[in-house]
Structure 1
Amino acid sequence: MYFPTVLSAVTALAGLAAAAPFQHGGPPGGAPAGAAPTPFVIPTDDGFPNPSPDQLKVIQQIADGTLSNAPPPAKINESSFPVFQLIAFNEQFEVAFFSSLLQNVTQNVPGFTLPDPKKKDELIDILETVLAQEKLHAINAAKTLANFNQFVPVPCKYQFPTSNIYEAIALAERFTDLVLGTLQDGAQTLARNGDAGAVRGLTSSLGQEGQQSGFYRILLSKKPSEKPFLTTNVAAFAFSALQQFIVPGSCPFPLSNIKLPIFPGVSVLSGQGGTNVEPRDQHLAFKVDLTGVSAADAYIGKSNLWITYFSGQLLPISSPIVNVKWSGRVATFEAEFPFTANEMVGLSVASLTTKGQFANAPEVVASTLAAPGLIQVDDRVKSWDGFKL
């Protein structure tokens, strides 16, 4: 199977940065120009998120594996439950994303067509399996929560800013890499809380997500393994990032049921919205809207703030913001991106913080005003038969 060649036939359809928001799962052909994207609702024909035993058996067959039949942990620390709630919330988003992508490829929606029927069938086969695996991830987290009579998130309505197969695969790679960093945080939380019995299952799904990311990176003409030690992340930043894919007000539960803060995002203005950033020392441009962030009141109109980066397994890297311009509670500014000294290839996660020195990644959350901003610096394959973004 040689997917770069498959996808290269539709290169002219669009580039990653050029598209307006488009809902994957809308009707074939998409919404009219300028129209709001159609909210996507996860299909429930297989019973997801609560399949019957027979429906679960079919999902497991498609997923090439089953849920664990090991007994659940005897106990879980109260402060560990947000880990499983975030996992369920995220996996439901991923089920929505891959359901809508699969629909678009299957239905030959413009921008998602493949010229070779055999390659289309191969891609559909892969997406069907990934989708089923994500359903099992979500079901597994929900089962853990239900076993301890804890709140279980249920699916919301979703929206995705992609209009073609390139953008969809690039988005899949970005959110999968963010998940890989977040699951590190989840495993450390469980370990700190003495919940060793849940770590094995969590890290097995972490490895599965890594296999996915390598496949998406190959499609995007990147080396399949991004870094020797993948970039870490924290749960609060992942929960905040997911909000951009949720139709506001569509979740059938208060988001406060998941005991994690939600920060306004950091918009990366350099590169193509943070993608394709050049591998060099430079100043990157950012924008934040701190409307409604009471913790920011003392900093409005000032410049005594930092951009703090997560990159690999390095301690947080902070750069003071410069060239700051305020318009009310909206700020645009720049910050140094110290690429050379830190080998910041791959994903870096940026946050706007009130101080610039941290002992570890979790410590950053308490000093954060906005997050995350995602920055991608790619070490692309030097010679590859395929498309270029």
Structure 2
Amino acid sequence: MENFMFKSGTRIIFGKGAEKTVGEYVVKHSRKVLVHYGGDYLKEFGILDRITKSLEENGIEYVVLDGVVPNPRLSLVRKGIKICKEENIDFVLAIGGGSAIDSSKAIAVGTKYDGDVWDFYSGKTEPKSALKVGTVLTIPGSGSEMSESSIITNEEKNLKCGIDCELIVPEFSILNPEMCYTIPPYLMSCGIADILSHLFERYFTPTKSAILSDHLLEGAMKAVLEVGPRMKKEPKNYDNCSEIMWLATVSHNGMLDAGRISDWGSHRIEHEISALYDITHGAGMAIIFPAWMKYVKHQNMELFAQLATRVFGVADEEDKDVVVEKGIICLEKFFKSLGLKTTLTEAGVPVDRFEEMAMKAVGDSECVGRFKQLKKEDIVEILKLAI
């Protein structure tokens, strides 16, 4: 097991009607907030009204900034920063899924900085201070409601980059599983794929001994495989929604990879797909992860076979290559059962810019990923397997 530090700084308020209490938690930090969100469904289903009513009941002044879209845009982040500086706002309340939360986190670090917020995401410098952030989660999957991560898209440069910073870990996150009732089936499927991708990134590790986290990750994966189909059949079943919402949070709050090195190569590859072609992140992960597995499986066949037998129920046999291949097929079938595509061609993604995507994925480094370090030529081969 590796040395590690673990800190959970986010208060979770979980359950029915929890969003009605948001003002009670905001008022502990601020009297003037930016409410940041995207999606007409928040108004249509009365979610925004319930939240702003709670703010008003607690004497909190607020300014609204909507317009968040999947793969949140740098231009909107800059707009939010300008508002916060002009209005002397000292807290950002995100309402939505990962895009709204990541955008809010970017606004939080950008408001306390004299330069351009993209400096952080391009690696030019690191944040030294930030506004505090709270969230009301409406679309599970990203895990951003309890993580130190934020990923945004620079639409001018077709780049999707992220930061990890303790300053942007939310002070609180409100999780009401009833919010899942409003999510279109496709977006829910993308969220489920995103949850699995976060678990896989942690599972495939160069760390030699991490028995406890192996089993924790495998248990979470098995829960996703069990609850995912139930969500498709009964999207408004409260218990199913509860399981998915909490799975999404736990899979990305740092607890399950304590003591092990995570990979994140697949995410870097997918970011270039969604940056160029604006597909939903979870949909991209459903395409990239099977291709990545096929390419890197010989790095640790025992671990891949362990996944196949323990999680996907593949019968063990002497030929590990067969066991691993059956496991990957099971994963592809699971994604397809959710209505997701597992190839670039099926998803309508062009296949003529692989060299450019690989170059951007690697950036200034020689390689990405820790389970198997991937150079530009490796990424191109993975993209070819994803065709």
- Give the TM interval when normalised to the shorter protein: under 0.3
Q: When the two structures are superposed, what TM-score results if normalisation uses the length of structure 1?
A: 0.26
Q: When the two structures are superposed, what TM-score results if normalisation uses the length of structure 2?
A: 0.26
Would you tell me which structure has more helix in proportion to its own residues?
A: 2
